[in-house]
């Protein structure tokens, strides 16, 4: 479904991604693990079009996408769920969700998707007329994911969904991500630092260091200890 070939991305002067290549198959949950500042988030931003690569190419469903503006990439079916939330603070929960279905393809399905999101996160339905800035941290994370679901995407790229959440909420968010993958059939790329929970819900994992992928394997084969001691320390 997604094929990334030798991309290099610069963040200003910083060479943030160095010759990164990987693939994601239809229906998978693929995790990217590693310490802060080693290129995981940049990788997601590059795939989603927020930070186009300087060299290399990205193919989605067999068509090149790395030269496209971000709104075209969303049209193609990739949606980015950002770490820093980027919700619309003064819009209501419902308006935030409807904005998630802004692109033409999703607009037709927005009532159906809205119901699906409310089913997945009942708290959002209760708060649908509330202004987004009045939500708690956990609710905001759910709204960010919910807004992503509204775009009827095939591939969802989620950036550190557990950051800043209480342990119980972290578990809930990971469970929901698995649920989205299994029930909606959405393919997921997940960037995380919570090694154990991430490996538990993912099919494959890539470990990143200094802007490169250092190794990859099936999640079952990846050792939590090794990753934590050698790459997150």
Tokens found for residue 213:
């992928």
Binding-site member from 3, 8, 10, 50 for other proteins (CB under 8 A): 50
Q: Which residues pair with 60 in a beta bridge?
A: 2, 63
Per-residue CA distances from 223 to 48, 202, 205, 218, 219 (Å): 29, 13, 11, 10, 8
Q: Does 70 bind other proteins (CB under 8 A)?
A: yes
Q: Does 113 bind other proteins (CB under 8 A)?
A: no
Those residues whose C-beta lies under 8 Å from the C-beta of residue 87, and which sit 6 or more positions away, are 96, 132, 140, 143, 144, 147
Number of residues that bind other proteins (CB under 8 A): 25
Stretch that binds other proteins, among 26-34, 63-71, 171-179, 215-223 (CB under 8 A): 63-71
In angstroms, what is the minimal distance from the CB of 199 to other proteins?
Answer: 27
Q: Does 46 bind other proteins (CB under 8 A)?
A: no
User: Under a CB-based contact definition with an 8 Å cutoff, are residues 144 and 180 in contact?
Assistant: no
Q: Does 137 bind other proteins (CB under 8 A)?
A: no
186: which DSSP letter?
A: -
**Torsion angles phi and psi, residue 154, rounded to 5:** -100, -30
In angstroms, what is the minimal distance from the CB of 32 to other proteins?
Answer: 19
In angstroms, what is the minimal distance from the CB of 23 to other proteins?
Answer: 24
Nearer to other proteins (CB atom), residue 99 or residue 169 = 99
Nearer to other proteins (CB atom), residue 161 or residue 205 = 161
Nearest to 31 by CA among 161, 176, 165: 161
The footprint of other proteins on residues 71-110 (CB under 8 A) is 71, 74-75, 79-80, 82, 86-91, 95, 98-100, 102-103, 107
User: Under a CB-based contact definition with an 8 Å cutoff, are residues 78 and 154 in contact?
Assistant: yes
User: What is d(CA 197, CA 78) in angstroms, rounded to the nearest whole number?
Assistant: 24
- Residues lying near other proteins in the complex (CB under 8 A) are found at 48, 50, 69-71, 74-75, 79-80, 82, 86-91, 95, 98-100, 102-103, 107, 147, 151
């Amino acid at each position: 479904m997604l094929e990334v070939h030798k991309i290099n991305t610069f963040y200003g002067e910083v060479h943030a991604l160095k010759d990164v290549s990987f693939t994601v198959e239809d229906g998978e949950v693929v995790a990217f693990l590693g310490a802060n500042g080693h290129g995981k988030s940049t990788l997601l931003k590059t795939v989603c079009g927020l930070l186009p690569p300087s060299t290399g190419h990205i193919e989605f469903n067999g068509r090149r996408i790395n030269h496209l503006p971000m709104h075209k990439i969303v049209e193609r079916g990739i949606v980015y769920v950002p770490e820093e939330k980027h919700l619309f603070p003064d819009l209501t929960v419902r308006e935030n969700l409807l904005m998630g279905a802004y692109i033409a393809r999703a607009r037709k399905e927005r009532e159906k998707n809205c119901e699906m999101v409310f089913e997945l996160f009942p708290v959002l339905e209760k708060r649908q007329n509330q202004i987004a800035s009045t939500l708690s941290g956990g609710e905001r994370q759910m709204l960010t994911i919910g807004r992503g679901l509204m775009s009827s995407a095939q591939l969802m790229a989620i950036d550190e969904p557990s950051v800043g959440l209480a342990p119980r909420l972290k578990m809930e968010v990971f469970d929901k991500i698995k649920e989205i993958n299994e029930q909606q059939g959405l393919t997921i790329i997940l960037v995380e630092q919570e090694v154990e929970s991430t490996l538990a819900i993912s099919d494959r994992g890539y470990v990143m260091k200094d802007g490169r992928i250092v190794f990859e394997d099936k999640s079952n084969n990846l050792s939590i200890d090794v990753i934590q001691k050698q790459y997150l320390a």
